[in-house]
Amino acid sequence: MNLEDVITVTKPTFPDATDADIASAFGAIDTAALTAAEEPLWTHETWNRKTPINGVSAADVLAKRNDIPDTGKVVIVKRDGNIVMFQPHDPNQPGFAPIVDGAATGTQMTAKAVTEAVDSQTLQLVATAIQNLT
C-alpha cells in the first residue's frame, strides 16, 4: 500500500484531514514490522481429500460442493491454525480450472492474505491517528 492509496481510502471517511495529516500518520507506521508479525500466522497446505474440513467429513465436502474439480489440487489457507480459505480451483483462471501446483498457489494466496491483512491494519492505524488529531 502506498501513500496515494491511503489518501484515496482515508479521505471519504475523514474529509477534513489534509494530505499532510494522512501522510504523517502513514509515515509513522512500520509496515515492515506489521508484515513480520503477520507472516508467521499464515500457512497453507494442499488438501488430501481425506481429512475433514471444519468437522465435515471429506466425503461430505466432496459430495456437497460442485466447484471442486475431479483432478487438481485443493489449497487450504490458515491464519493462526484456523481455515480461512478453501480454494478448490485456480484463483487466477476463469471458471473452475484445476489447480496444477498446490504449493505455488498456496504461497501466492498466503502472500496476498498477508498483504491484505497488513493493509487493513495500516488503514486502521491511520484512521486512529487522524481521529486523535481532532
HSE-CB at 107 with a 13 A cutoff on CA atoms is 4
Confidence label for 75 from pLDDT (cuts 50, 70 and 90): very high
Q: Which domain holds residue 12?
A: 3-133
Cβ neighbours, 10 Å, residue 75: 27
Number of domains in the chain: 1
Q: What is the pLDDT of residues 4-53, one digit of tens each?
A: 999 999 999 999 999 999 999 999 999 999 999 999 999 999 999 999 99
Average pLDDT in the chain: 95
* Residue 103, pLDDT score: 96
pTM over 0.75: yes
